[in-house]
Amino acid sequence: MQKTKKIGLIPRMILGILVGILVGLYLPMWFTRITVTFSSIFGAFLNFIIPLMILAFVTKGIADLGEGAGKLLGVTVLLAYMSTLIGGSLSYFMSNAIFPGFISAEQVSAIQSSNEISIDPYFEVPITPFFDVTSAIIFAFMLGISISWLRKTKQGEILYKAVGEFNIIITNVLAKAIVPLLPFFILGNFAKMAKSGSVFAVLSIFWKIFICVIALHLIYVSVLFIISGSYTGKNPFTMLKNQVKGYLTAVGTQSSAATIPVNLQCAENNGVSREIGDFVIPLGATVHMPGSMITITACTFTILTMYDMPHSYGLILRLIAILGIAMVAAPGAPGGAVMSALPFLPVVGISPESTMASLLITLYLTQDSFGTAANISGDTALAVAVDKIYNKNILGKKDWQPNPVKTK
């Protein structure tokens, strides 16, 4: 009996995007609201699972590492933060060189009226997480490092087995519930954007800015893979090809955390060891935000330029440095990064309640998918490099060789 060939995740995601746009453009509002209702419920479920996902993967990842776990944590967080700062700085210099040439005052009033249609779900199911993302990551650090210290004792081994079983539970939830439903979640997101017209209205006015930001995302991610590949002796172009699935997943979900299960597979295909992948990929989803920082910096520069406000590098660097820390709590939901940024906008003279802030949010959300995709792609590049740093420099394995990159 011939087996039916299943459609892969990437084609299903692309199909979800296309169908979502068609639903939003051509089908009645009631149908669009049905898809939005599903996305709302699924999004609430995701927010519930995300802290548990981080707790399961990061705790076991640190516990598996044992020796050098604390050092690995410090190295990974430092590299992630430096990458985020560099991404934001590059975005400022690009914006300063290009944007003033095509920003006009007339565009402000046009964008302010681009999101007039409000599309709400028919109903919502409140699913409150046990704890937030920040609490989960801190608890995972504490628990994982403690278990790694206690591994040689009977109590430590019991805890380690319990964490391993919890990891299996979360992995099964991801494989059997989250990943199969992702295309429908994507469909609802794109139906809502297409029906409201906000995405297309903003793109019609800011398409040049949009193209510049996306180009910088791709350039920066490519550079990260080139550096990581050169450092580990792997082909960066093959690694980039293996990352396409994770990139497209992030474009559709607009959530770094929701892309973790797919990105773990990308890291494995790029030769990252399981213990490093389980540690760096979930951690990177919370602390490594170069794509979001590139987008926020460019959007902030655009607004400040439009309103003829000060926008020096020193001023914006202060915001970048603060947001590199503040956005740790951002990966749970689409648009989380810009929402985390709102309390700190007064640093550059923008009030969170002002029209400028509303305009910034609109512009950012239009490009949020691609910033998220750059974030998670950078996580994989970071994991490839950290794998070698941990084994060569922290554990001192002079004869260690990296796992090969899969070419299929």
Q: How far apart are CA 296 and CA 365, in angstroms?
A: 10
Q: How far apart are CA 57 and CA 140, in angstroms?
A: 9
pLDDT band at 1 (very low <50, low <70, confident <90, very high): very low
pLDDT for residue 102 is more than 80? no
Which sequence spans correspond to the domains of the chain?
9-394
Contacts of 18 (CB under 8 A, 6+ apart): none
| Model pLDDT for residues 353-381, shown as the tens digit of each residue | 566 776 677 677 667 788 888 999 999 99
Q: Compute the average pLDDT of residues 198-211.
A: 65
| Model pLDDT for residues 138-157, shown as the tens digit of each residue | 888 788 878 877 776 777 77
Per the structure block, which two tokens stand in for 30?
A: 């009631």
Place of tokens 């996580």: 379
pLDDT, residue 343, reads 67
CA-based max dimension of the chain: 70
Contacts of 357 (CB under 8 A, 6+ apart): 342, 345, 350, 351
- The burial of 206, by beta-carbon neighbours within 10 Å (0-12 exposed, 13-18 middle, 19 or more buried), is given as buried
Name the E strands within 71-193.
Answer: none
Helix, strand or coil, per DSSP, at residue 7: coil
Is this prediction's pTM over 0.85?
no
CA dihedral 217→218→220→221, nearest 10 degrees, is: 110
Mean pLDDT, the chain, rounded, equals 80
Q: Compute the average pLDDT of residues 266-277.
A: 89
Helix, strand or coil, per DSSP, at residue 356: helix
Most confident of 11-25, 190-204, 229-243: 229-243
Helix, strand or coil, per DSSP, at residue 392: helix
pLDDT band at 340 (very low <50, low <70, confident <90, very high): low
- The burial of 8, by beta-carbon neighbours within 10 Å (0-12 exposed, 13-18 middle, 19 or more buried), is given as exposed
Region for residue 288 given its phi and psi (left: phi exceeds 0; alpha: psi -120 to 50; beta: otherwise): beta
pLDDT for residue 232 is more than 50? yes
Q: Compute the average pLDDT of residues 203-226.
A: 85
Structure-model confidence comparison of residues 107 and 182, the more confident one: 182
Q: Compute the average pLDDT of residues 217-240.
A: 92
CB 289 within 8 A of CB 330: yes
Long-range contacts made by residues 356-362, C-beta under 8 angstroms, separation at least 24?
A: 356/303, 356/307, 358/112, 359/108, 359/111, 359/112, 359/303, 360/299, 360/300, 360/303, 361/335, 362/111, 362/114, 362/115, 362/198, 362/202
Give the C-alpha distances (Å, rounded to integers) separating 191 from 121, 250, 370. Answer: 12, 17, 18
CA dihedral 87→89→94→100, nearest 10 degrees, is: 130
Q: How far apart are CA 357 and CA 125, in angstroms?
A: 29
pLDDT, residue 114, reads 44
pLDDT, residue 181, reads 83
pLDDT band at 8 (very low <50, low <70, confident <90, very high): low
